[in-house]
């Protein structure tokens, strides 16, 4: 566990899980989730009490199944948020339905619903990061939510174009998906063993943010290897799965590593990117066109699985 202790000192660590046992064992300050993790967690035995509470709550709120499912999902998420925040000292990232990622108003509405329910537990909204997929509409929704004091984590970042738009929108945090970027290059035989394309993108984004003095934080996500962790310890945050965390003792860090602190200055900002420019650039990026929609579809499928599971409990 010495490597984990050292890593905690030099960056903000997040554990990518909803499993309470892992969260308690590693005692990392932050937690990230996604629909796949929530689907696993909702079936997990230690979540039984909070699931039963969500089912009972939904039955009392409505007689209609579709409404009950929505109430049950929100209640389960808030119960889980409360349980986890009582264990950790930092934040938890919770996603909204991926089917809304092309609708600004629905993204805002679903985020507000979740934050409003958090008030029932007196949960400080600054400790809850709303995860939204980084489409143009998702980014614009996050911009409005940030103005309301609701911090957002923009996920499925696969390009500098998305990262720039997020920074211009004043988004709190972005999550570049390092592993998925490398998956695309590997699948399409562009992969070079001497290059980690995901790591290179994160460093490119970091340099861009520093150059133009953007305050948006970067969370390295979809980490697959120990080398990626070592390469990205300068990130504002790293989110790591329990599987990778268990292997940390197999690496060593440079003990005199120095973090380069941001020196914010609003000089020399670029002009804001337009929707047209954003979409043209994204449509020309083969990684985005493949991996963004693949990721959206996977999150939607997991959301549907959650709904089907809850429907079976709510009849």
DSSP 181-245: HHHHHHHTT---TT--HHHHHHHHHHHHHHHTT---EEEEBS---HHHHHHTTTSSEEEE-HHHH
> With b meaning 16 or more CB within 10 Å and e meaning fewer, what string describes 293-309?
eebbeebeebbebbbeb
pLDDT of residue 261: 44
Helix axes 48-61, 293-314, angle to 10 degrees: 80
1-35 pLDDT, tens digit per residue, is 688 988 998 899 999 999 999 999 999 999 999 99
What is the count of structural domains for the chain? 1
CA dist 170 and 174 (Å) reads: 11
Q: Is pTM, for the whole model, over 0.85?
A: yes
The CATH number for 80's domain is 3.20.20.70
Asked which of 1-15, 99-113, 181-195 is least confident by mean pLDDT, the reply is: 181-195
pLDDT in tens, 293-304: 999 999 999 999
Q: Is 27 exposed, middle or buried (0-12, 13-18, 19+ CB in 10 A)?
A: middle
Run of H or E residues at 157: strand 152-157
Residues pairing with 173 in the sheet = 153, 217
SS3 assignment, position 100: helix
Three-class DSSP category at 261 = coil
What are the pLDDT digits (tens) for 60-99?
Answer: 999 999 999 999 999 999 999 999 999 999 999 999 999 9
3-state secondary structure of 252: coil
Contact 102, 88 (CB under 8 A): no
Query: Residue 48: which domain range?
Result: 2-314
Catalytic center residues: 131
Give kind and range of the element (H or E) at residue 77: helix 65-85
Q: What's the mean pLDDT in 235-262?
A: 76
Cα–Cα separations (whole angstroms), residue 267 to 61, 170, 215: 52, 16, 13
Please, what is the average pLDDT of the chain? 91
| Closest alpha carbon to 169 in 159, 177, 181, 161 | 161
Rounded distance between C-alpha atoms, residue 59 and residue 71, angstroms: 9
């Amino acid at each position: 566990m010495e490597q984990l202790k050292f890593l905690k000192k030099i960056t903000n660590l997040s554990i990518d899980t909803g499993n309470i046992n892992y969260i308690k064992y590693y005692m990392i300050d932050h937690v990230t989730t996604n629909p796949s993790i929530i689907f696993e967690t909702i079936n997990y035995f230690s979540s039984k009490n909070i699931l039963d509470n969500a089912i009972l709550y939904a039955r009392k709120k409505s007689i209609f199944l579709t409404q009950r499912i929505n109430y049950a999902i929100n209640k389960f998420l808030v119960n889980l948020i409360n349980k986890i925040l009582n264990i950790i000292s930092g934040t938890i990232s919770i996603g909204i339905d991926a089917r809304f990622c092309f609708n600004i108003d629905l993204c805002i509405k679903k985020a507000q619903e979740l934050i409003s329910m958090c008030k029932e537990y007196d949960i400080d909204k600054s400790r809850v990061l709303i995860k939204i997929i980084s489409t143009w509409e998702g980014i614009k929704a996050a911009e409005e939510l940030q103005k309301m004091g609701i911090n957002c984590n923009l996920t499925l970042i696969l390009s500098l174009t998305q990262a720039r738009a997020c920074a211009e929108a004043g988004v709190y945090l972005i999550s570049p998906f390092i592993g998925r970027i490398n998956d695309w290059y590997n699948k399409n035989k562009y992969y070079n063993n001497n290059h980690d394309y995901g790591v290179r993108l994160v460093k490119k984004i970091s340099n861009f943010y520093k150059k133009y003095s953007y305050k948006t934080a970067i969370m390295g996500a979809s980490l697959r290897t120990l080398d990626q962790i070592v390469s990205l310890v300068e990130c504002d945050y790293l989110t790591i799965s329990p599987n990778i965390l268990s292997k940390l003792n197999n690496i060593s860090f440079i003990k005199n590593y120095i973090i380069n602190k941001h020196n914010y200055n609003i000089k020399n900002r670029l002009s804001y990117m337009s929707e047209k420019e954003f979409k043209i650039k994204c449509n020309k990026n083969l990684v985005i066109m493949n991996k963004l929609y693949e990721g959206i579809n996977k999150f939607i499928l997991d959301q549907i699985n959650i709904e089907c599971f809850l429907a079976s409990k709510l009849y």
